[in-house]
Amino acid sequence: MNNEHNNKTKGDIMNRVQEAASAISIEEIAEKANEASNSIANADSKTKINVLETLKNLLIENKSAIITENTKDIENAKSCGLGEAITDRLFISEKTFGSMIASIEDVMKIKDPIGEIENIAARPNGLMVGKMRIPLGVIGIIYESRPNVTVDASILCLLSGNAVILRGGSEAFNSNRILAYIISESLKINGLPPETVSMVPYTDRSAVKELISQKKYIDLIIPRGGEGLISFVTENSKIPVIKHDKGICHIYVDKDADIKKSIDVVINAKAQRPSVCNALETLLVHSGIAVKFIPYMFAELERAGINTRTDGKIFSDYKNKFNFIEAADDVDWDTEYLSLTLSVKLVENMNEAIIHIERHGSDHTEAILTENYTNALEFIKRVNSSCVLINASTRFNDGFELGLGTEIGISTSKIHAFGPMGVRELTTTKFIVFGNYQKRL
């Protein structure tokens, strides 16, 4: 980065952000992104890595300005009475800022998948048929609260050769705006169109509806956020959608589980960060282990400050021993609490647990805790959520934890990509054929 640009960047960045946010229609944003998509699709790996390196440096240089804008969003959220879960997701803490930088560094280490040739095979007529990995094109990402998504989504789209249009929630408008501007500057510095990453500068719901109507310019829509947002997008989009839906995540404690180790996993899955989509929401306990497991578990849940909604049998057996438990109703089994509340249900066997998951789950994350190898394999074979774990916390269904570097979200749609979406999941393939002047007979 040259000194002239360095000095410019250290000036009043917000004046330049304001200037860049001139009035432009969503159709124009989409058209410009579509035009820019050709440049990023054909950019070589070195150029894309240079963009990410520049971005990392610019974020560090402008950290104080970013925090200032984020503080505005936090203050607005509090004055509007937004809940603690939303405010937690909104806050760019030192840890969050560090994770954004770490995400860039991690993605820089990922092999560029664009242009890879896969599964070459010879046909009887001598043709060599294979597939080449290519970008999806232009991706529209609609999300709420977390401003770090602006960075994570952009860097994944850039390395995978896609242009991206970002539409964050109104509660994070100031944070998203400055981050998107810095990303566009990183592109411009490295000779790529700044419109490769663009942000919708309008916060009303009508802007979302207009964005998801731009089928001429946008190839895929990815919504991630609350149930209302997901439903609105999937019901109104004229563009293919990959949902990143709510996480009603289950853990099934088998009759052959190790009690102490299982308790530790349950506490971690629920309490380590309860406001995220891969946090545990419903615990299913085999009746054969209940007498030994439940009293010990309730004591640890109470110590961790976790409230419970229990089925009738558990409630009647333990309501006089633990005053923090409440009786569950039918709504609880379908609720994503995003807080320190946990539903607990007794099941007679694994089959009953799986039926409950099929009826009330959201295809997000499920786990079994057991020392029985046969039961573990049956569970992961029969349960078809985006990630199924054996003897591990649901919190591991995460792009970074699963080795993707970072993620654009966790897809709960069983098309194209299912589970955490990293760089490779933002690509597709085209057939390629090597011939020797063959003619079809």
- Tell me if 68 is assigned to some domain: yes
Q: State the average pLDDT over residues 396-417.
A: 88
Both tokens assigned to 62: 């402008």
76-to-94, 149, 262 alpha-carbon distances in Å: 20, 19, 41
Are 397 and 258 members of one domain? yes
Domain membership of residue 410 (yes or no) is no
For the stretch 176-196, pLDDT in tens is 999 999 999 999 999 999 999
Residues 325/319, Cβ–Cβ less than 8 Å? yes
Check residue 403 and give its pLDDT: 86
**Domain span holding position 282:** 249-403
Q: If pLDDT is split at 50, 70 and 90, which confidence band does 10 have? A: very low
Is residue 225 left, alpha or beta, with left meaning phi > 0 and alpha meaning psi from -120 to 50? left
pLDDT in tens, 212-235: 999 999 999 999 887 888 999 999
Chain segment 62-111, per-residue pLDDT in tens: 999 999 999 999 999 888 888 776 787 899 999 999 999 999 999 999 99
Asked if the model's pLDDT at residue 291 lies above 70, the reply is yes
CA 199 and chain centroid, separation: 18
**For range 387-416, the mean pLDDT:** 91
Place 3 in a pLDDT band, splitting at 50, 70 and 90: very low
**Same domain as 209, residue 342:** no
Model confidence pLDDT, tens digit, residues 37-64: 999 999 999 999 999 999 999 999 999 9
Task: Let me know whether 259 and 131 are in one domain.
Answer: no
Residue 35 lies in a domain: yes
Do both 220 and 337 map to the same domain?
no
Checking if the pLDDT of 281 tops 50, the result is: yes
Residue 163: predicted pLDDT = 98
- 380 plus 277 within the same structural domain: yes
Q: Is 60 domain-assigned?
A: yes
More confident residue, 98 or 8: 98
Q: How far apart are CA 152 and CA 179, in angstroms?
A: 11
Going by pLDDT thresholds of 50, 70 and 90, the confidence category of residue 21 is low
| Contact indicator for 145, 40 with CB cutoff of 8 Å | no
Residue 265 within a domain: yes
Q: What is the CATH number of the domain that holds 210?
A: 3.40.605.10
| pLDDT score for 244 | 85
Rounded CA-CA distance 99/10 in Å is: 22
Q: Is the pLDDT of residue 245 over 90?
A: no
Give me the number of domains the chain comprises: 2
Nearest to 244 by CA among 362, 333, 164: 362
Whole-number pLDDT of residue 275: 85
Q: Is the pTM of this model over 0.85?
A: yes
Specify whether 307 is located in the same domain as 210: no
Q: 351 and 389 in one domain?
A: yes
State residue 89's pLDDT score. 80
439 in any annotated domain: no
338-385 confidence digits (pLDDT tens) = 899 999 999 999 999 999 999 999 999 999 999 999 999 999 999 999
Both tokens of 403, joined, read 């080795």
In-domain check, residue 409: no
pLDDT tier at 22, thresholds 50, 70, 90? low
Please state at what angle helix 94-108 crosses helix 63-79, rounded to 10 degrees: 130
Helix (H) or strand (E) holding 354: helix 350-360
230 and 262 within one domain: no
Give residue 7's pLDDT band: very low, low, confident or very high (50, 70, 90).
very low
Do 128 and 171 lie in one domain? The reply is yes
CATH no. for residue 275? 3.40.309.10
For 292-302, the pLDDT digits (tens) are 999 999 999 99
